A = this chain, B = another copy of it.
Amino acid sequence: MAEQALTVGVDLGGTKILTALVDGAGRVVAFHRLETPVDDGFEGVAATVVDSVRDVVDDASADPRALGIGVAGQVSRGGVVRFAPNLEWHDAPLGALLRERLGLPAVVLNDVRAATWGEWRHGAGRGVADLVVVFLGTGVGGGVVSGGNLLEGCDNAAGELGHTMLVSGGRPCRCPGDGCLEAYVGGWAIGERAREAIRADGSAGARLVELAGSAEEVTAAHVTDAWREGDVLAARIHEATVAYLAAGLTGLANAYNPCRIVLGGGVIESVPELVDAVRGPVLERALGPVAEGLEIVRAERAGEAGVIGAASYARRALDGTMT
């Protein structure tokens, strides 16, 4: 398909629907943003997606060839959203509905895998065949490219990097397990660790409590603010985050032997210093051939990676290289 031909990318989350027209070079040529009408259920949200795609296409007088949509949930290879907690969907046939209503080839994938694809093809992961992408937001998600293939796994759920092990028998996670990477370095977990530290030593937490209004309201954002001011407790929490993230990335490096690790998401956007802070410990502790030449860099496409990746993935499908 020509570089100039456009595809549509949609990033569907529990709060917003991002829709973009993207060219073959990963450039966003038109963009819409809507609230997600979660209360309207599957039919209502899907109708909003359809309207959003039509609007962005009409506004640009474009003739896109395909649609890719990333959804915050578990997606089957056939385009059924099996479970999307934030949307309250179970077994929703999104792919079939979009194909029918829009008359376009439509591929559905997990939103984090879409963003991984976006960073790989058009962001900080360009040019390597072996890539690990970790997004640290409230939760921790990721994706893996190995030998030029986006890992999908047995049930299209490979690359749940936030739920790889960090501390056996450790902190409870929001998933059925405990000790997961997310339970230490996800935004919710950083906040939780801070609140525990304040309960253990109230006087040390004075500045955090002041920023948040109360000890119970301290979040990762307050830790970042206090750390930037030089607060001692916040610095301790930050240092622990660095150590946890470095340990987790060391394990992932040994697991996948990527050429490059890309770090993105809200936690990295507010504390980009984490990228430089973890690099040394990871390169020191990973196995020799794994550490050799390993790059650890910051994501480039920030909030756009999802729509760009979904659009680019749809292009791949059209190009007939779908597996």
**Copies, count:** 2
Q: Which of A91-99, A204-212, A244-252 lines the interface with chain B? A: A244-252
A67 to chain B, nearest CB (A): 24
B288 x A168 contact (CB < 8 A): no
Q: Is A157 an interface residue (CB 8 A)?
A: yes
In the assembled complex, the Cα of A257 lies from the Cα of B157 at a distance in Å of 6
Residues of B within 8 A of A51 (CB): none
Asked whether A284 and B151 contact (CB < 8 A) given A164-B164, A257-B160, the answer is no
B289 x A157 contact (CB < 8 A): yes
Residues of B within 8 A of A146 (CB): 146, 149, 151-153, 158
In the assembled complex, the Cα of A17 lies from the Cα of B42 at a distance in Å of 61
Asked whether A177 and B83 contact (CB < 8 A) given A160-B287, A244-B168, A257-B155, the answer is no
Asked whether A160 and B243 contact (CB < 8 A) given A82-B289, A149-B149, the answer is no
A254 to chain B, nearest CB (A): 4
Residues of B within 8 A of A291 (CB): 176
Partner among B159, B244, B255, B293 whose Cβ is within 8 Å of the Cβ of A154? B293
B256 x A153 contact (CB < 8 A): yes
**Closest residue to A258 on the B side, CB-wise?**
B154
Residues of B within 8 A of A276 (CB): none
B289 x A177 contact (CB < 8 A): no
B258 x A289 contact (CB < 8 A): no
In the assembled complex, the Cα of A149 lies from the Cα of B243 at a distance in Å of 33
* Interface set, chain A 230-276, CB cutoff 8 A to B: 243-244, 247-248, 250-252, 254-259
A128 x B154 contact (CB < 8 A): yes
Partner among B147, B151, B176, B252 whose Cβ is within 8 Å of the Cβ of A287? B176
**Closest residue to A249 on the B side, CB-wise?**
B165
Q: Is A302 an interface residue (CB 8 A)?
A: no
A292 x B167 contact (CB < 8 A): no
* Interface set, chain A 155-178, CB cutoff 8 A to B: 155-161, 163-170, 175-178
B243 x A292 contact (CB < 8 A): no
A112 to chain B, nearest CB (A): 13
Q: Is A285 an interface residue (CB 8 A)?
A: yes
Residues of B within 8 A of A248 (CB): 165, 168
B287 x A175 contact (CB < 8 A): yes
Asked whether A151 and B147 contact (CB < 8 A) given A165-B166, A167-B167, the answer is yes
What are 14 residue pairs bridging A and B, where the CB atoms are less than 8 Å apart in the complex? Answer: A74-B289, A130-B153, A146-B151, A153-B256, A155-B292, A156-B289, A163-B251, A164-B254, A165-B250, A166-B168, A168-B248, A175-B287, A180-B251, A252-B255
Identify the 6 closest CB pairs spanning chains A and B, nearest first.
A153-B257, A165-B251, A154-B259, A168-B247, A177-B285, A158-B257
Chain A interface residues toward B at CB < 8 A: 74, 82-83, 128-130, 146-147, 149, 151-161, 163-170, 175-180, 184, 243-244, 247-248, 250-252, 254-259, 284-294, 323
